[in-house]
Amino acid sequence: MSESQTPQPPQSPDFKREFRLYPYQWITIPLLFIVPILAIFGLFDANIVDVRASGDNVELRVEYSTRYRYYMDVPAYVFVTNTSDAALPVITVRFDRAFVDNFIEIQFTPDTNAVTERWYEVDLEDVQAGETRMIRVDLQADDYGTQRGTVAVAVGETAVADVQLDSFIYP
Amino acid sequence: MDTVIRVIVIYLVIMIGLRILGKREFGQLSPLELVALLMIPELVSASLNLNQPSLTNGIVAVVTLFCLVFLTSAFMHLSKKVEVAIAGEPVVLIANGELLTKPMNTERVTPDEVFSEMHKAGVDSLDQVKWAILESDGKIAIVPSQATSQSAAQEGGVGKG
């Protein structure tokens, strides 16, 4: 008996196939779909932004991520430019511990010169007129939630500029 | 404490997700459902492992899987062709008491397996079987011949009397 001649059991009746949902599914299914769509658009990924401030003789620019996932490594970069016509012997960049201490595996390059109750301090010495120096801060997200803090620049003892950092760490 | 909270969150996400998708999705192991059930532990285990513990990653991965399962299920329901492509079609193994060797060999089903299912259905010889059908979910359905069904019904009636 060939396969085409094989007797077949009665087939299930055909019916009009329609897309139907329960009322609660009209709300919850789209909500489910929002999650991967937001992920595709990068809402749960790092979001690198640039914040700037300038003061007397110094321009400060910080490149950092406003979003981290738990244990995600995204370094922050701080650029300090001497906008004066003369060399500055010491520019001190201060990193707020209220922000930085929410991360682990913290590494400053160049290294810190001092750690106080409020700040991590990095001194940039002998910055020539027009010169830009960079500080890299390696950060691995650790504490969930919104974390805020300041990066401030001082020339000598005078604070000249600061920017606010605001990051959200997803669990 | 952290692990407990993570397990609770993952558990709730999976439970709510399954509830939202409905009974059809996970009531039996069709290929689609099997893939989903195999993938869920893989996806969430990363979130429960403290070496790579992003809960957000796990939730996004599982919810993405739920969406894929729902879309596939919806397309399967709307189109017979898609349904056949994904779930396959039933295959007749016995027709009117005759073992069909070609489909049995193609599906790698042995007579022993067919007889085992026949015994579960309360029949012990081929001539008592009208149809044996390998269903899409891999189970073998046995339809007894009309005479067998009637005699079983009568025996049931005598027994009761």
Please report which residue ranges of A20-148 form alpha helices under DSSP H.
23-40, 97-100
- Specify if A2 maps to a domain: no
Q: Which chain A residue lies closest to B141 (C-alpha atoms)?
A: A9
Residue range A93-105: mean pLDDT, rounded: 95
Mean of all residue pLDDT scores within chain A: 91
Query: Of B72 and B157, which is predicted with more confidence?
Result: B72
The pLDDT of residue A169: 95
Cα angle B106-B107-B112, degrees, rounded to a multiple of 5: 115
A97: left (phi over 0), alpha (psi -120 to 50) or beta: alpha
From A35-44, B19-28, B105-114, B146-155, the region with the lowest mean pLDDT: B19-28
Tell whether A72 is within 8 A of chain B (Cβ).
yes
Q: Which of A17, A25, A71 sits opposite B52 (nearest CB)?
A: A71
Instruction: Tell me the residue range of the domain where A147 lies.
Output: 48-170
Q: Is the pLDDT of residue B52 over 90?
A: no
Domain B91-160 is of which CATH architecture? Answer: 2-Layer Sandwich (3.30)
Residue A118 pLDDT > 90:
yes
pLDDT band at residue B159 using 50, 70 and 90 as cut-offs: very low
Distances A165 to A22, A118, A146, A162 between C-alpha atoms, Å: 45, 15, 10, 10
A29 closest CB neighbour out of B20, B56, B100:
B20
The answer as to whether A15 is a domain residue is no
For the entire predicted model, the pTM comes to 0.75
Residue A11 lies in a domain: no
A99 domain residue, yes or no? yes
Look at residue A113 and tell me if it is in a domain: yes
Task: Tell me, yes or no, whether A25 lies in a domain.
Answer: no
pLDDT of amino acid A98: 95
CATH number, domain at A140? 2.60.40.10
Q: Chain A within 8 Å of B96 (Cβ-Cβ)?
A: yes
In a domain, A107, yes or no: yes
Strand partners, B92: B133
Question: What ranges in A6-158 are assigned the alpha helix state H?
Answer: 23-40, 97-100
Q: What is the value of ipTM here, to two decimals? A: 0.80
- Structurally, how many domains does chain A consist of? 1
Q: Do residue A9 and residue B78 have CB atoms under 8 angstroms apart?
A: no
CA distance A149 to chain B (A): 23
* Chain A nearest-CA residue for B16: A28
pLDDT of residue B119: 94
Tell me how far apart the alpha carbons of residues A93 and B136 are, in angstroms, rounded to a whole number: 68
